[in-house]
Amino acid sequence: MCGLLAQITVSHYLVVGAVLFVTGVLCMATKRNALGVLMGIELLLNGANVNFVAFGSKLLRADALGLDGQLIPLFVIVLAAAEAAVALAIALNFYNNHTTVDVDKAEELKG
Amino acid sequence: MTIWAATDWYAFFFLLFALLACGFAAAVLFTSNIVRMAFYLTLSLGATAGLFFLAGAEFVGVMQLMIYVGGTLVLLVFGVMLTARAPFLSLRPRSGEWIVSLIAGGTLLFLLIASAFGVRNWRTASDSGPLPLAEAQTATAVGAGLTGVRVDRLNRDAAGHALSQLPHTDSGYLLPFVIVSVHLLVVLVGAAYLARAKVRRRSATESTASVEG
Amino acid sequence: MAEFLVHTLSLPAPLAYLLAALIHCGFILGLVAAGAVVFIWAERKVSGRIQDRLGPTRTGGKFGWLQSPADGIKVLAKEDLIPRAADRLLFRAAPYVSFSSSFTAYLALPFADGWVAFDTNVAVFFILAVLGLEVFGVILAGYASGSKWSLFGAMREAAQVVSYEVPLGICVVIPVLLTGTMNLTTIANMQAGWCSNWLIFHDPFTFAVFWIYATCALASVNRAPFDLAEAESELVAGFMTEYSGMRWSLFFMAEYSSMLLVSCLAVILFFGGWHGPIPVFDWLGWAYPGGASSWQLTGFLANLAGCVNFITKAVIGVTVMLWIRWTLPRLRIDQVMTMCLKYCVPLAAICFIGALWWQVAGWWSPNHWLPLRPDGPGGMRETWVVAPEAACGEVARRLPWADSAPPHGAARRTLPGCGLAGPPAGWRTGSPAAARGGVQ
Amino acid sequence: MDTSLLPILLGIAVLLPLISFFVILAVGRWWRPVLGGYLATAAIMAAGLLSLTSLAIWLSHHPVGAAGHHAADQAGPYVGDYYVLGQFGALRITIGYYIDSLTIVMCCLITLIATCIHVYALGYMHEELHPVTDHEVTLPDGSPLRRPGRFSNFFQYMSLFCFSMLGLVLAGNVAMVFVFWELVGICSYFLIGFYVERKSASNAANKAFIVNRIGDFGMLVGMMALWGGMGTFAFGDADLNGNGSIERSERGLFSLVRPAAREHQLTTPEGLVLADAHEELQRWALAHPTATRGDFESYVAGELDDLRDGGPDGSGRRYGYWLLVLAGIGIFCGCVGKSAQFPLHVWLPDAMEGPTPVSALVHSATMVAAGVYLVGRFYPVFAPEVLLVIAVTGGITLFLAATIALTATDIKRVLAYSTVSQLGYMMLALGVGGWLAGMLHLVTHAFFKSLLFLCSGSVIHALHSNEMTVMGGLRKKMPITAATMLVGCLAITGLSIPFVIGLSGYYSKDMILEQAFSFARENPGLLGDGFFIVAAGGAAMTAFYMFRLWFLTFAGEPRDAQRYAHAHESPRVMYVPLIILAVFAAGVAWPAPFGWPSLQGLLEQARPAGTAVTAVSAHVPFVWPSEYIAHDAANYWSIVVPVTWLAFLMAVAGLLVAVAMYVTGQLSAREVSRQFAPLHRFLLHKWWFDELYDLLFVRPLYVVAGWCAAIDRRWIDGLIDHSARWTARLAAWSQWLGDHTLIDGFVDRLAAWTYRVGVSLRSLQTGSLRQYVLFLVIGVVAVFLISSFL
């Protein structure tokens, strides 16, 4: 532990953020279940939040972003909740119309 | 005792939470059962909240626990109600998509990590030696920021006493706060309207359009 | 505690942190377990009395003291069943989620001045959030059991808890509003002195809101009359139908510990925490004076007594819950929802605005009787002050009620535990408390 | 025993197989055929003992430091002539030897592997002892072909091959190299066409021979350039007249190109400079009619450096440099042909028509490696531009072959493409300046690849089929083969416990990757990074197809019950060599403890002078970092650690995908192949290279021939009575061309194109949410790459 992470820096947080972000993207890309896609989005936003917080943290860097680094994640979280609500409503609507939540079935707009 | 002297709890907890977050995120990715996905997602988000605590953003961390995890709770309920049926429990993508996405995602991850360690200023540690596990006193400051006062940007005099007026550039987040709250209200109303059981398809699509537009 | 270990025993800091954390967890776990054991016994006795029975009498002595340990042994000895239709992983995981969340909430709960494991600034919020996670385990259990009874129970629980978190949140916000901090230690310390200083007596709205809080808390820990999730008469045992043995008892411990938790929260928010009806130790001068950072025997004794005092109040709260359970019949789900959405939420909102108004108008409140000291708690409840005078003036200028001059002089406008300079030295929370008690 | 014995021992070692060849040729007809096999085996075994002896002698005189780089380790070669064939003016053709540690290592390697394979072949070829019925050849009357067994012929060819191969590594000058080069070529021709009655076999043999000719043509050009420039074929300096000093005329190629006077830096030899600059010299001579020869020579001596380095400021033209580049590229062409590099890689997979021992010895371990060996030998002669060409070729080959191997189902073809890919690795390593890495991989690869081939041979021997689709579950039937092949797979994959220990492949492949990485570090940009990325990706693909092979063959359930029922473990004579080779494949590259001589250290002794320093090209903007940089302790964290982890993760990733596809079955191979049908077909047809060459070279040839024939016939029939038809045809043609083709054709084509574009664009709009997300990601990655590379 000491050898590996002698000193936690912003970069370490960024790596975690990156992993979460990519996992989210992959979720969106591979899940056929609409709710799975939603969860992918949640993960993705979460990864972004980690980056913000890391940049804002005075503990990690003296010249940190400051309070913005915490306020923006707050907005992100709130808006994510809103987005989840709407998306769920849409998913439910889709389920009402198609009796499934398989996003691959939602291709009426296919070219 | 030397081992204790060498132990850095901050690093330890960071590592712990980071591994939990990433591991459960991966579990979300590789599970096809929707409810388990939600379960892992919750754990991942919780671990992230722990990371926020470590980074000194307590308020954000608690928000994360309360809202995100609450939202995921609702997700879970919906998941159970909609798709806890056998055909939906196994909506699996085709292997090829797995491979393509894994390759693309892997490349993206590689790039992101490379750039994360690319900037010296991020790579170099804060000069304050090993990081404290201490909490940062941010709750009030965040609240003030939301009500429009950037207490971290008060322009102070030499003695550290804040001067009477704030620079206008730091006028805080009052307006976004209001906008977001109104937006949230609208969204919730719209979602409720949208999600109510429909009889005919047409009305459903119309309402979808109306809310999205 | 950690500093104590470092400075007095001269242990290396990391080891000291580890030990301190372990000690705190040990205390809390002991409290939760003991609480559960005692309350289960008490529940049986109370129900017995209320139904004109004796309750357990034989096991261990006259009052059946050892009843619940015996139950515990029986439960441990039971076979651990997992239905075939169950989702094994989630089925196993659910009780731990439930229990660990209700246990984690205790971390931020101060038992006396500075006796808190995790002295965070957002303690109230933290406790609410983590308490909200408990329902998660219940829902998982309901889903994973693969039985329709469990699923029904879980769905009810989800609907109920999610909707009751709204009024609960509003109720909890009101004391926070009045004290201007979410740090429970500070909130409690602001009610030091006579019982007239308790926040419940701050104004009629707080008095009213306490009862709403009690209702919502009852619902959010789904005790009767809100225990629809485990309605024995309709769903066999609700979400616990398929559980047996250790996992089942974990759910029980979670339920009782969260009961204790909400009543502890109530005590801190409304009943002055460890500050008794009579400020004995303040007279004796044993309580930690402001700014004292070193360990003192007298202060320790004061804290000890305060802790006992605090737990006593909490236990009274729990007893009331038991009493309610055996008194009121169970509601229907629609009644539960009506209760929440049509009564609790509007009432709580009204009380919120009312308390706010009362505060801003600075009207007379019982708290202004017998202030403990000249700049007593009465002076401490200016929420609008975020920090140094300048910022205060700035905020006052921006806020709509800027012209209505607050009653208390600017000299009293310092608020402890605020985000900037940390607590002023004159007040006895914040860093000294942390030095005395916090893990960090 | 002193080093003067080395040439004698090695010379005998070379000759022994030749003797056995001639003996079998002479009397093999009257012997019991098995005796021929024993004779050849004995001969190669004796040669092996001699090589080992000479290795011992070498080590006793040149102690090897611990593994790692010490310029001081370099031990000078022993150069000399066995026999002077003739001297024509400056041209001196001799049978010479050039012995350094590389030579000795190669000799030991060849003899060791050849011995194992001979023994193995004694068992594998047993059916050739009796008259053979070849069911793959049907005579016109429909009955299968019956022919006498060719046991002794086989070993006769093998002996000849061993002789030529040993001669090739021992050769002391370019001429000998070329002779033995062609000899191994012809041996491989014989051996590929061993089942000559099979059409496929004879075609493959012809293909191999012809493709190699193309490369050898380039090699001839290179040789001419070298000789024209330097007037000598010899590699090293030899004190011919024995006066104890090396005169100008006694210099070898290497010391001419990298004279000690210039710190062994690459220097265009005088001959090339003057040959290129003769016009200037003539101008001077005309300008100074009164100048004597002395003046002229003094002028030349004075001007030489300026001409060579493009004037005092190095800005002018560098005379002769392009000739040096040409020579290097020519030599490399030969290597491209011999070691099946892109674009001449097409022959190797077909060469698998030969018997498996041949594939193991000739087409994986030794002969195809000869190309790499030659590149390593000529390393000092190569200009940076040539190195770049080598690296690019290697990179392309590595990637191309690896991708093809992903889909091949013929077990031997998978191995063949893996061979090509590994050779690409070596070329890449040499091209980016990793001399030691390339040579080390050459050695380790020889061991594990021959092991893999022999294992596949024993599987084929048991199942009588090459198709992996009929295999599976064999590990129960043939445990030893399975185990040894697993060792081979692990070795070639380079799996290991990072930083602790691994099989031989781990060391060599990591060394290559580290060199590629430090090259990429020095030269950011598409090419520099491309090399490293290709190498790393290749590692993953290697892991995937090797374990795909193993799983398909040994794991899972048998796919062909009836074949499975008859499968059996091979006889001892076949699996003992497997075990021996497995031991070597595992341990040959281990950094030896207690300062025992390690392979790395031994090879390091043979590093050509002046190649250990960072090289810069005057013409292409690239830097070839010294190989020591990658292993400098200072760069441990910045190069070794990340590269080792990356390589490890890549290998593990490939392994996991293989497991997921063929063991646990989370990914279904059929689904994947169906979804990437075009790609799959593309790979299955080996990138359509054969078709492409057929289209580019073969067809045109036929067409031209057809034209000639037609013209001939037309002229034999007179023009007169055809002229009318000509006119009519012209009119019809003009109508067809002008009206139909140009006017209508243009319009129709335009419409068709528009339509096609529309369709193809439309298919982008899949309407699938998830694919849009993917497009997004790919776009982001593309932006990243563009912004970082351009």
Q: How far apart are CA C232 and CA C330, in angstroms?
A: 10
Count CA within 13 A, CB hemisphere, residue C185: 30
Asked if the Cβ–Cβ distance from B95 to D778 is below 8 Å, we say no
Helix (H) or strand (E) holding D146: strand D144-147
Residue B117 lies in a domain: yes
Residue B34: strand, helix, or coil: helix
Q: Give the model's pLDDT for residue D151.
A: 86
Asked if the Cβ–Cβ distance from B194 to A57 is below 8 Å, we say no
With an 8 Å Cβ cutoff, is D766 touching chain B? no
Task: Provide the token pair at D708.
Answer: 């000639």
Q: Minimum mean pLDDT among B134-138, D28-32, D374-378, D399-403: which range?
A: B134-138
C14-21: list long-range contacts, CB under 8 Å, 24+ apart: C14/B4, C14/B5, C14/B7, C14/B8, C14/B9, C15/B1, C15/B4, C15/B7, C17/B9, C17/B133, C17/C439, C17/C440, C18/B4, C18/B9, C20/C439, C21/C117, C21/C439
- Roughly what angle, to the nearest 10 degrees, separates helices A34-56 and A68-98? 180
Residue A85 CB: number of other CB atoms within 10 A? 21
Pairing assessment for the beta strands D91-99 and D78-88 based on DSSP bridges: antiparallel
| B 88-147: CB under 8 A from A | 88, 91-93, 97-98, 101-102, 104-106, 108-109, 112-113, 116-117, 119, 121-128, 130-132, 136, 138, 141-142, 145-146
- What is the percentage of chain D residues whose pLDDT exceeds 90? 20
| CA C157 vs CA C53, C227, C251, C282: distances in Å | 31, 8, 14, 45
The string of pLDDT tens digits covering residues D730-749 is: 888 888 888 788 888 888 88
With beta carbons less than 8 A apart as the criterion, state whether D450 and D115 touch: no
Q: How far apart are CA D321 and CA D307, in angstroms?
A: 10
The string of pLDDT tens digits covering residues B137-184 is: 567 777 777 777 666 665 555 555 555 555 544 567 888 888 888 988
With an 8 Å Cβ cutoff, is B160 touching chain D? no
Q: How far apart are CA C198 and CA D746, in angstroms?
A: 94
Task: Provide the token pair at B26.
Answer: 């991966």
| CA B121 vs CA A17, C12, C168: distances in Å | 17, 31, 44
Asked if the Cβ–Cβ distance from D668 to B95 is below 8 Å, we say yes
Q: First CA to last CA across chain D, in angstroms?
A: 61
Please report which residue ranges of D494-525 form alpha helices under DSSP H.
504-522
**Could you say which DSSP state residue B147 is in?**
T
Q: If you measure CA to CA, which chain B residue comes closest to D661?
A: B95
With an 8 Å Cβ cutoff, is B59 touching chain C? yes
With an 8 Å Cβ cutoff, is B154 touching chain A? no
**Could you say which DSSP state residue D624 is in?**
E
The whole-angstrom distance between residue D575's C-alpha and the CA centroid of its chain comes to: 28
Please name which of D397, D398, D419, D416 lies closest in space to residue D408, comparing C-alpha atoms. Answer: D416
φ, ψ dihedrals at D160, nearest 5°: -55, -40
Residue D98 β-bridge partners: D79
What band does C440 get if pLDDT is binned at 50, 70 and 90? very low
Residue D136: strand, helix, or coil: strand
| C 369-388: CB under 8 A from B | 386-388
- Chains touching D by CB (3 or more pairs below 8 Å): A, B
- What is the percentage of chain B residues whose pLDDT exceeds 90? 4
**Mean pLDDT to the nearest integer, D494-501:** 80
**Mean pLDDT to the nearest integer, D660-676:** 80
Q: Name, in order, each residue with C-beta under 8 angstroms of D298's C-beta and a sequence gap of 6 or more.
A: none
Which residues of chain A does B63 touch, with a Cβ-Cβ cutoff of 8 Å? Answer: 73-74, 77
**Are residue B102 and residue B147 in the same domain, yes or no?**
no
What band does B2 get if pLDDT is binned at 50, 70 and 90? low
Beta strands in D57-102 (DSSP E): 78-88, 91-99
Q: If you measure CA to CA, which chain B residue comes closest to A55?
A: B122
Task: Provide the token pair at C369.
Answer: 């009787």
Residue D147 β-bridge partners: D132
Flag whether pLDDT at D333 surpasses 70. Answer: yes
**Are residue B7 and residue B99 in the same domain, yes or no?**
yes
Which residues of chain B does A77 touch, with a Cβ-Cβ cutoff of 8 Å? Answer: 60, 63-64, 67-68
**Are residue B47 and residue B14 in the same domain, yes or no?**
yes
Q: Where are the domains of chain A?
A: 10-100
Q: How far apart are CA D420 and CA D542, in angstroms?
A: 11
Q: Name, in order, each residue with C-beta under 8 angstroms of C290's C-beta and a sequence gap of 6 or more.
A: C425, C426, C427, C428
With an 8 Å Cβ cutoff, is A18 touching chain B? yes
| B 31-60: CB under 8 A from A | 34, 37-38, 41, 44-45, 48, 51-52, 55-57, 59-60
Residue B182 lies in a domain: yes
- Which residue range forms the structural domain that includes residue B101? 1-136
φ, ψ dihedrals at D85, nearest 5°: -70, -40
Residue B35 lies in a domain: yes
**Angstroms from D762 CA to nearest CA on chain A:** 5
Q: How far apart are CA D509 and CA D511, in angstroms?
A: 5
Option in D666, D676, D778 nearest B96 (CB): D676
Helix (H) or strand (E) holding D543: helix D526-554
Q: Give the model's pLDDT for residue C242.
A: 81
Which residues of chain D does B107 touch, with a Cβ-Cβ cutoff of 8 Å? Answer: 781
**Mean pLDDT to the nearest integer, B16-35:** 87
Per the prediction, chain B carries an average pLDDT of: 72
- What is the percentage of chain D residues whose pLDDT exceeds 70? 96
Q: First CA to last CA across chain C, in angstroms?
A: 8
Flag whether pLDDT at B204 surpasses 60. Answer: no
Q: Give the model's pLDDT for residue D110.
A: 92
Q: Give the model's pLDDT for residue D691.
A: 81
Please name which of D239, D27, D769 lies closest in space to residue A102, comparing C-alpha atoms. Answer: D769
Flag whether pLDDT at C29 surpasses 50. Answer: yes
Residue with tokens 């699923």: C151
Best residue of A21, A67, A100 to probe chain B, by most B CBs closer than 10 Å: A67
**Could you say which DSSP state residue C411 is in?**
G
Helix (H) or strand (E) holding C351: helix C345-361
Buried b (16+ CB within 10 A) or exposed e, D442-473: bbbbbbbbbbbbbbbbbbbbbbeebebebbbb
Which residues of chain B does C220 touch, with a Cβ-Cβ cutoff of 8 Å? Answer: none
Flag whether pLDDT at B213 surpasses 50. Answer: no
Q: Minimum mean pLDDT among C1-10, C285-294, D326-335, D423-432: which range?
A: C285-294
With beta carbons less than 8 A apart as the criterion, state whether B73 and C98 touch: no
Residue D496: strand, helix, or coil: strand
Considering its fold, how many domains does chain B have in total?
2
Please name which of B95, C419, C271, C314 lies closest in space to residue D675, comparing C-alpha atoms. Answer: B95
**Could you say which DSSP state residue D173 is in?**
B
Residue B158 lies in a domain: no
The string of pLDDT tens digits covering residues C352-371 is: 988 888 877 777 777 666 65
Q: Give the model's pLDDT for residue C131.
A: 84
Burial of D735 (0-12, 13-18, 19+ CB in 10 A): exposed
Residue B160 lies in a domain: no
Q: How far apart are CA B130 and CA C125, in angstroms?
A: 29
Option in C121, C122, C394 nearest B149 (CB): C394
Residue B207 CB: number of other CB atoms within 10 A? 18
Q: How far apart are CA B76 and CA B69, in angstroms?
A: 10
Q: If you measure CA to CA, which chain A residue comes closest to B30?
A: A27
Residue with tokens 């022994």: D16
CATH of domain A10-100: 1.10.287.3510
Q: Give the model's pLDDT for residue B1.
A: 45
Pairing assessment for the beta strands D78-88 and D623-624 based on DSSP bridges: unpaired
- What is the percentage of chain C residues whose pLDDT exceeds 90? 5
With beta carbons less than 8 A apart as the criterion, state whether C104 and C128 touch: no
Please name which of D765, A45, A87 lies closest in space to residue B212, comparing C-alpha atoms. Answer: A87
**Mean pLDDT to the nearest integer, C249-276:** 87
Highest mean pLDDT among B75-89, C188-202, D148-162: D148-162
**Angstroms from D659 CA to nearest CA on chain B:** 14
φ, ψ dihedrals at D93, nearest 5°: -100, 120
Please name which of D73, D229, D66, D71 lies closest in space to residue D610, comparing C-alpha atoms. Answer: D71
Per the prediction, chain A carries an average pLDDT of: 80
The string of pLDDT tens digits covering residues D213-252 is: 888 999 999 888 888 878 788 888 877 776 767 777 778 8
Q: First CA to last CA across chain B, in angstroms?
A: 65
Q: Minimum mean pLDDT among A77-91, C318-332, D180-194: which range?
A: A77-91
With beta carbons less than 8 A apart as the criterion, state whether C240 and C106 touch: no
Q: Give the model's pLDDT for residue B126.
A: 58
Residue with tokens 């061991």: D447
| CA D88 vs CA B87, D94, D255, D738: distances in Å | 87, 11, 22, 64
**Mean pLDDT to the nearest integer, D108-129:** 90
Residue D784: strand, helix, or coil: helix
Write the single-letter amino acid at D557: E
Task: Provide the token pair at C58.
Answer: 């034989």
With beta carbons less than 8 A apart as the criterion, state whether C261 and C102 touch: yes
Residue B161 lies in a domain: no
Option in A25, A31, A104 nearest D768 (CB): A104
**Are residue B115 and residue B190 in the same domain, yes or no?**
no
| D 648-667: CB under 8 A from B | 657, 661, 666-667
Residue B11 lies in a domain: yes
Q: How many beta-carbon pairs under 8 angstroms link B with C?
A: 154
**Mean pLDDT to the nearest integer, A42-68:** 82
Highest mean pLDDT among B183-187, C258-262, D632-636: C258-262
Omega of the bond leading into D642 within 30 degrees of 0 (cis): no
- Roughly what angle, to the nearest 10 degrees, separates helices C148-179 and B69-83? 160
